[in-house]
């Protein structure tokens, strides 16, 4: 006899649903819940634009140099050996004053050398004319003509040097010495002549250099980007002997790639010899008035235009001037509150300065 299955009672259904729900809740309690930490917004750094003296108004280190147009070199009067040196570096000299002497070959030797040089030049000239004649009749080559001309040019130089040595004989004194003399009134700023040294008038290096130090120049190295701000700006030099007024500088056209600097040369009057060559002094440019400055890091740039973010978040264009030591001169009302982090508040197209 088949037994039919009775449907579950309502009480059984309720108990079964309760058990399932309890197990599900227990599983949920075992699952860790991720916790999200929300950091507070970073504070906006704000500064005030400051009114102060121009940034160029500071002590720039400078070096006293000789004015090139007021210096001259004195070479050996004849070839030979230095016999005497009568001056020292830093000594004042007058025009015509003896500086050093040179003992050279005898007059007979110099005249013989000159005669020999003239004779050899005459022979070479004859050979050149003969070669040119043969070349017209196609009896020699163009290379032969060029060699003959080169030989004549070399012998002409030797003849000129020999004749100059003969003319210098008139400068010899009773003891057979030729004296080198100063041609200007000034100070010996370079002296390389030494007794016994072999010298020649054609030496590349000057044996003595004399300069008129009544006017000098002050060399100041400045960052390349500031060089344009200095032209036509007068300055004051502070030296141990006092202050000296300087003229408008001449700007070098050469940049020191290693230091990234440009040299400025300030002219200075030095009648009292207050400024000594190679001395280190401080130079202060003459700049007038006051300027508004902001921190350079606060500026953003798009092309040639600079922008500043105000405290309110407004981005305004500003005209900038000199930048130095982390500050930049701007055309802005003093006391304006601005943000220091433009990259967080301006258009992505704008770049930091």
CA 176 to centroid of chain Cα atoms: 48
Top CATH class, 60-67+215-285? mainly beta
Same fold, 107-169 and 290-352: no
What's the pLDDT at 176? 72
- pLDDT recorded at residue 175: 72
Q: What is the 3-state secondary structure (H, E, C) of 246-294?
A: ECCCEEEEEEECCCCEEEEEEEEECCCCCCCCCCEEEEEECCCCCEEEE
Short-list 260, 218, 233, CA closest to 54: 233
Longest dimension (CA), the chain: 167
pLDDT at residue 165 in the model: 73
Q: State residue 350 phi and psi, 5-degree precision.
A: -85, 140
Beta bridge partners of 186: 93
DSSP-derived secondary structure letter, 101: E
Q: What is the pLDDT of residue 345?
A: 45
Would strands 280-285 and 291-295 be described as parallel, antiparallel, or unpaired?
unpaired
Check residue 86 and give its pLDDT. 96
Dig out the tokens for 256 from the structure: 């020191």
Sheet-wide strand order for 305-309: 315-318, 305-309, 299-302, 351-352
Residues 223 and 260 sit within 8 Å (Cβ to Cβ): yes
CATH class of the domain whose range is 290-352: mainly beta
Domain 69-104+176-211 matching CATH 2.40.50.100: the answer reads yes
User: Are the beta carbons of 349 and 57 closer than 8 angstroms?
Assistant: no
Q: Tell me, which fold does domain 107-169 have in CATH?
A: Helix Hairpins (1.10.287)
Note down pLDDT in tens along the chain; length 353 residues.
445 555 555 656 556 666 666 666 655 555 454 454 545 556 788 999 999 999 999 999 999 999 999 999 999 888 889 999 999 999 999 999 999 998 877 666 777 888 899 999 999 999 989 988 888 888 888 888 899 899 999 999 988 888 877 776 655 666 778 889 999 999 999 999 999 999 988 777 889 999 999 999 999 999 998 988 887 888 999 888 889 999 999 999 899 999 999 999 999 999 988 899 999 999 999 988 899 999 999 999 998 899 999 999 899 999 999 999 999 999 999 999 999 986 554 554 455 55
For the chain, the domains span: 60-67+215-285, 69-104+176-211, 107-169, 290-352
**pTM exceeds 0.75 for this model:** no
- The secondary element (H helix, E strand) that includes residue 144 is helix 142-167
């Amino acid at each position: 006899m088949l037994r039919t299955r009775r449907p579950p009672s309502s009480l059984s259904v309720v108990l079964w649903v309760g058990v399932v729900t309890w197990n599900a809740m227990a599983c949920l309690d075992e699952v860790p819940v991720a916790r999200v930490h929300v950091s507070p917004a970073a504070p906006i750094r704000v500064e005030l634009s400051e009114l102060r003296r121009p940034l160029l108004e500071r002590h720039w280190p400078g070096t006293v140099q000789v004015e090139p147009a007021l210096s001259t070199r004195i070479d050996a009067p004849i070839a030979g050996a230095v016999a005497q040196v009568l001056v020292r570096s830093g000594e004042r000299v007058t025009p015509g004053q003896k500086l050093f002497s040179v003992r050279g070959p005898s007059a007979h030797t110099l005249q013989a050398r000159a005669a020999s040089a003239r004779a050899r030049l005459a022979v070479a000239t004859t050979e050149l004319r003969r070669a040119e004649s043969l070349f017209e009749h196609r009896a020699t080559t163009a290379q032969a003509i060029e060699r003959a001309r080169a030989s004549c040019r070399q012998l002409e130089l030797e003849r000129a040097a020999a004749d100059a040595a003969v003319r210098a004989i008139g400068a010899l004194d009773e003891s057979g010495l030729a004296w080198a003399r100063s041609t200007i009134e000034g100070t010996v700023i370079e002296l390389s002549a030494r007794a016994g040294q072999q010298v020649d008038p054609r030496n590349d290096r000057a044996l003595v250099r004399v300069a008129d130090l009544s006017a000098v120049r002050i060399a100041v190295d400045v960052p390349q980007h500031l060089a344009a701000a200095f032209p036509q700006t007068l300055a004051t030099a502070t030296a141990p002997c006092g202050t000296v007024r300087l003229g408008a500088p001449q700007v070098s056209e050469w940049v020191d790639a290693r230091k990234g600097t440009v040299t400025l040369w300030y002219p200075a009057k030095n009648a009292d010899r207050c400024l000594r060559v190679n001395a280190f002094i401080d130079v202060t440019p003459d700049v007038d008035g006051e300027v508004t400055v902001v921190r350079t890091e606060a500026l953003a740039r798009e092309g040639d235009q600079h922008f500043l973010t105000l405290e309110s978040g407004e981005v305004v264009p500003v005209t900038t001037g000199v930048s130095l030591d982390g500050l930049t001169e701007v055309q802005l009302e003093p006391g304006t509150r601005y943000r220091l982090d433009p990259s967080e508040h301006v258009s992505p197209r704008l770049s930091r300065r």
